[in-house]
Amino acid sequence: MEKHKAVGVALVAIKNNRIVYDSSYGFKNIESGALLGKADIFRIASISKSFSATAIMQLVRQKSSRSTTM
């Protein structure tokens, strides 16, 4: 967090479609000292483009796999 000057971060690890770890660190409001909680929401901004591209490529790969196995 120090390296990237992050005020707060949330982490989730998923294994076999199940959450195996979730935690949050830091502040949701540094001025008031309010701690970040698991239910707090982050703005994802431009990173949604990466998520969308990855999801599309996964769908393309799945379709390609199905057509070669039929």
pLDDT of residue 14: 93
- Cα separation, 22 vs 37, whole angstroms: 11
| 34, two tokens | 């309010």
- pLDDT tens, residue by residue, 14-63: 999 999 999 999 999 999 999 999 889 888 778 888 889 999 999 999 88
- Domain spans in the chain, listed from the N-terminal domain onward: 8-69
- Cα separation, 54 vs 60, whole angstroms: 10
* Distance separating the N- and C-terminal Cα atoms of the chain: 48
pLDDT of residue 33: 94
